[in-house]
């Protein structure tokens, strides 16, 4: 319980008529190693002071109390030379009372409702220190790992900076390590700790060149208050470079959110906004820095709206599953082989909401499962329905999010859907994005191996956007490679991109899996891919994702071809 920072148990007298406040203060103080004595009103307070005159280190004094109020206690104490040596911190909710109490000799005040515990403890210990003229407590202010300030102290000192220097233009900056949990899991705690220390060192170096201070909050969240600047790209790049120099093998990626301090916006809110900005770039491969401004604010409101509306969207069937065909291009004419299920949200007021907006949002907020489960259910039902009505079993792939994969219910849910609709596991394929494989490593691989044993086919989505090494790739469980769209976009004009596509096709041959090229839009792209030996193509060239009624026309075409063959 006690961290050993108080050499001798200091005795605190709490004079306070409200039981709840007594209890709160008592808990905080006792937890930190103080001995606490209580008095229920001013009268009892003065008696307790008399009685414990020699032991008392400090008095916490409420101002509004029955029988004898705090002001009178202050007057009594300061007119008595024996009592006067004991510092008094007043507990108050009113600004006006503060001043009068300080004039009467109170050393400091704590505002009600009570501040953060660390702040209260800091004030109490600082006052005892001042009174005893020596250092009492060293440990709490600093985070032991990085020696930056810990939470409460960071906030208190940051408040003071702003309070004493209202003319300084300052920014709140939040710095976070992308998926720190997996960095830890994959490389060990020791490596994680080293990463945090290295980053803290660089933050300190940065702060030497500008005004400011920094603290570490949760494991990998760093808060910085520093002098305003227009552009943070360089600052982020500097921190990022440090991360790379620590270890080139492990990709430790940082993200940063910034919010300039403004008059009338309290510090807590400014840091909340910096955090919001920081969270908006979470999981993004392109953007790692965001400055909070009006557009971020608007987006935040929009996202909040989407989060609030999720439940009714499910209940009112605002989600619709669209299907985009995948064609075999090595035969002439190309033949429909399968499809991908892609969700659409027809919002009654916002219109069509793009999955590019809400999928990452729901992933971040742990709600994606609701959506994915909806899509799987609809898709399984649709495959079964086409089979019984049109006599064709067209395999459709669904997307799995990273968090779906770690859901212990996943296998059971998928199997139940398959059974309920009289399908076989090969009829509903599973797309898993490459970055999930590389970030979550072993655990993900074992889930995927189990799914494959059950008969499911797994497609690695967005291949080429993550960081699989060749070496790693050969041991990953997968049945199909889906090449990331960005490789296709420029193959007509960029020789290098075309070489990359050829290389990917070579890799796939080596792994003995077919390749789907996504995002094919032009005839030229199609021709080049066909030449290079690509098996399957999905893209606007053939069709955009279609609602089920329209997709049926493609199925009928395929049936037509089959009947002629
Ligand atoms: P994705 O899985 O890589 O899906 C392919 C995206 O590319 C789809 O965007 C599709 O409409 C688009 N696309 C297809 N052909 C072309 C083309 O020729 N040109 C261009 N420019 N784009 C093409 P969409 O439907 O907006 O989905 C975006 C992303 O949202 C998907 O990327 C996927 O990551 C996610 N997503 C969509 N539906 C679901 C779902 O049900 N569950 C989960 N977890 N994610 C989903
Ligand atoms: Ca996909
Ligand atoms: Ca994809």
Tens of pLDDT, residue by residue, the chain (565 residues): 334 344 457 899 999 999 999 999 999 998 888 889 999 999 999 999 999 988 899 999 999 898 899 999 999 998 888 888 889 999 988 777 777 787 788 888 888 888 778 888 888 988 887 776 544 444 456 788 998 888 877 887 788 778 767 778 999 999 999 888 888 888 889 999 999 999 999 999 998 888 788 999 888 999 999 999 999 999 999 999 988 887 767 778 999 999 999 888 899 999 999 999 999 888 777 789 999 999 989 988 999 999 999 999 999 999 999 999 999 999 999 999 999 999 999 999 999 999 998 998 999 888 999 999 999 999 999 999 999 999 999 999 999 998 899 899 999 999 999 999 999 999 999 999 988 877 667 788 999 999 999 999 999 999 987 767 666 777 789 999 999 998 899 899 889 889 999 999 999 999 999 999 999 999 999 999 999 999 999 999 999 999 999 999 999 999 999 998 7
Shortest-distance Cα residue to atom 17 of ligand 1:
519
Beta pairing class for 35-39 and 11-15: parallel
Does ligand 1 lie within 6 Å of residue 539's CB atom? Answer: yes
**What CATH topology corresponds to 151-292?**
Alpha-Beta Plaits (3.30.70)
For residues 31 and 167, the answer to whether their CB atoms sit within 8 Å is no
pLDDT value at residue 327: 98
pLDDT value at residue 1: 34
Q: What is the b/e burial string over 477-490, where b = at least 16 CB atoms within 10 angstroms of the residue's CB?
A: bbbbbbbbbebbee
Give the residue, out of 346, 517, 518, 544, with the most ligand 1 atoms within 8 A of its beta carbon, to mutate for a pocket test: 518
Task: Give the integer Cα–Cα distance in Å for 565 and 559.
Answer: 10
Shortest-distance Cα residue to atom 23 of ligand 1:
519
140 Cβ contact partners less than 8 Å away, ≥ 6 residues apart: 3, 5, 118, 121, 122, 125, 150, 153
375 Cβ contact partners less than 8 Å away, ≥ 6 residues apart: 319, 321, 341, 343, 398, 399
Q: Identify which of 24, 105, 35 has the alpha carbon closest to the alpha carbon of residue 70.
A: 105
Give the residue, out of 346, 399, 436, 540, with the most ligand 1 atoms within 8 A of its beta carbon, to mutate for a pocket test: 399
Does ligand 1 lie within 6 Å of residue 359's CB atom? Answer: yes
DSSP code for 82:
T
Task: Give the integer Cα–Cα distance in Å for 498 and 64.
Answer: 79
The β-bridge partners of 214 are 224
Beta pairing class for 221-227 and 335-347: unpaired
- What is this structure's pTM? 0.68
pLDDT value at residue 147: 87
Please provide residue 459's backbone torsions phi and psi, each rounded to the nearest 5 degrees: -105, 130
Q: Identify which of 516, 391, 412, 511 has the alpha carbon closest to the alpha carbon of residue 456.
A: 412
Q: Work out which ligand 1 atom sits closest to the CA atom of 521.
A: 18
DSSP three-state, residue 443: helix
Does ligand 1 lie within 6 Å of residue 372's CB atom? Answer: yes
Give the residue, out of 321, 329, 359, 538, with the most ligand 1 atoms within 8 A of its beta carbon, to mutate for a pocket test: 359
Ligand in closest contact with the CA of 458: 2
pLDDT value at residue 99: 74
Does ligand 1 lie within 6 Å of residue 540's CB atom? Answer: yes
Shortest-distance Cα residue to atom 16 of ligand 1:
519
Ligand in closest contact with the CA of 324: 1
Task: Give the integer Cα–Cα distance in Å for 241 and 235.
Answer: 10
- CATH, domain range 11-138: 3.40.50.2300
Percentages helix, strand, coil for the chain, rounded to the nearest 5?
50, 20, 30
Q: What is the b/e burial string over 413-432, where b = at least 16 CB atoms within 10 angstroms of the residue's CB?
A: bbeebbeebebebebbbbbb
Distance 486 CA to ligand 3 centre (A): 10
All CATH 3.40.50.2300 domain ranges of the chain, comma separated, are: 11-138
Distance 344 CA to ligand 1 centre (A): 10
45 Cβ contact partners less than 8 Å away, ≥ 6 residues apart: 13, 15, 39, 59, 61, 68, 73
Distance 518 CA to ligand 2 centre (A): 9
Distance 378 CA to ligand 1 centre (A): 17
Does ligand 1 lie within 6 Å of residue 519's CB atom? Answer: yes
pLDDT value at residue 475: 79
Q: Identify which of 121, 79, 183 has the alpha carbon closest to the alpha carbon of residue 440.
A: 183
Shortest-distance Cα residue to atom 25 of ligand 1:
342
pLDDT value at residue 133: 56
pLDDT value at residue 139: 46
Q: Identify which of 147, 282, 165 has the alpha carbon closest to the alpha carbon of residue 222.
A: 147
Please provide residue 249's backbone torsions phi and psi, each rounded to the nearest 5 degrees: -75, -40
Shortest-distance Cα residue to atom 15 of ligand 1:
539
DSSP code for 169:
-
Does ligand 1 lie within 6 Å of residue 545's CB atom? Answer: yes
Please provide residue 105's backbone torsions phi and psi, each rounded to the nearest 5 degrees: 115, 0
Distance 356 CA to ligand 3 centre (A): 12
Does ligand 1 lie within 6 Å of residue 464's CB atom? Answer: no
pLDDT in tens, 197-255: 999 999 999 988 887 889 998 889 999 999 999 999 999 999 999 888 877 677 789 99
For residues 463 and 484, the answer to whether their CB atoms sit within 8 Å is yes
All CATH 3.30.70.270 domain ranges of the chain, comma separated, are: 151-292
pLDDT value at residue 150: 84
Does ligand 1 lie within 6 Å of residue 357's CB atom? Answer: no
Shortest-distance Cα residue to atom 33 of ligand 1:
399
Q: Identify which of 107, 33, 45 has the alpha carbon closest to the alpha carbon of residue 72.
A: 45
Does ligand 1 lie within 6 Å of residue 325's CB atom? Answer: no
**What CATH topology corresponds to 322-564?**
TIM Barrel (3.20.20)
Angle at 146 between CA 145 and CA 147, to 5 degrees: 100
């Amino acid at each position: 319980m006690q961290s050993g920072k108080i050499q001798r148990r200091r005795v605190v007298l709490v004079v306070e008529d409200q039981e709840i406040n007594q209890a709160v203060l008592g808990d905080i103080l006792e937890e930190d190693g103080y001995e606490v004595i209580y008095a229920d009103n001013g009268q009892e307070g003065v008696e307790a002071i008399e009685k414990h005159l020699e032991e008392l280190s400090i008095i916490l004094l409420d101002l509004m109390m029955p029988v004898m109020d705090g002001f009178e206690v202050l007057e009594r104490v300061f007119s008595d030379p024996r009592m006067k040596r004991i510092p008094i911190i007043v507990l108050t909710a009113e600004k006006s009372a503060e001043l009068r109490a300080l004039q009467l000799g109170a050393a400091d005040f704590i505002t009600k409702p009570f501040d953060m515990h660390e702040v209260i403890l800091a004030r109490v210990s600082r006052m005892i220190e001042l009174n005893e003229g020596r250092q009492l407590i060293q440990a709490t202010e600093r985070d032991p790992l990085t020696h930056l300030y810990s939470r409460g102290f960071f906030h208190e000192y940051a408040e003071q900076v702003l309070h004493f220097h209202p003319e300084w233009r300052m920014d709140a900056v939040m710095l976070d390590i992308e998926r720190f949990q997996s960095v830890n899991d994959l490389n060990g705690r020791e490596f994680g700790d080293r990463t945090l220390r290295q980053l803290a060192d660089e933050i300190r170096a940065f702060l030497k060149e500008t005004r400011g201070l920094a603290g570490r909050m949760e494991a990998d969240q760093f808060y910085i208050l520093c002098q305003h600047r227009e552009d943070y790209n360089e600052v982020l790049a500097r921190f990022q470079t440090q991360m790379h120099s620590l270890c080139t093998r492990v990709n430790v990626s940082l993200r940063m959110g910034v919010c300039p301090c403004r008059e009338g916006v309290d510090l807590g809110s400014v840091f909340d906004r910096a955090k919001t900005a920081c969270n908006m770039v979470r999981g993004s491969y392109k953007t790692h820095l965001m400055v909070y401004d009006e557009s971020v604010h608007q987006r935040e409101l929009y996202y909040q709206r989407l989060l609030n509306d999720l439940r009714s969207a499910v209940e009112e069937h605002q989600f619709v599953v669209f299907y985009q065909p995948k064609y075999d291009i090595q035969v002439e004419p190309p033949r429909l082989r399968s499809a991908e299920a892609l969700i659409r949200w027809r919002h009654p007021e916002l219109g069509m909401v793009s999955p590019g907006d809400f999928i990452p949002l729901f992933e971040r907020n742990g709600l994606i499962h609701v959506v994915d489960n909806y899509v799987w259910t609809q898709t399984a039902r649709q495959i079964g329905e086409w089979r019984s009505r049109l006599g064709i079993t067209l395999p459709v792939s669904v997307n799995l999010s990273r968090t779906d994969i770690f859901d212990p219910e996943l296998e059971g849910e998928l199997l139940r859907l398959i059974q309920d609709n009289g399908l076989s596991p090969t009829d509903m394929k599973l797309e898993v994005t490459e970055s999930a494989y590389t970030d979550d490593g072993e655990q993900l691989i074992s889930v995927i191996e189990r799914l494959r044993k059950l008969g499911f086919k797994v497609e690695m989505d967005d291949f080429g956007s993550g960081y699989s090494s060749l070496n790693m790739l050969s041991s990953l469980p997968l049945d199909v490679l889906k090449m990331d769209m960005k490789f296709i976009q420029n193959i007509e004009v960029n020789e290098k991109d075309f070489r990359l596509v050829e290389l990917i096709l070579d890799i796939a041959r080596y792994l003995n899996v077919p390749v789907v090229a996504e995002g094919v839009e032009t005839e030229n792209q199609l021709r080049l891919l066909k030449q290079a030996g690509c098996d399957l193509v999905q893209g606007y060239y053939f069709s955009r994702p279609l609602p089920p009624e329209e997709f049926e026309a493609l199925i009928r075409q395929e049936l037509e071809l089959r009947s002629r063959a």
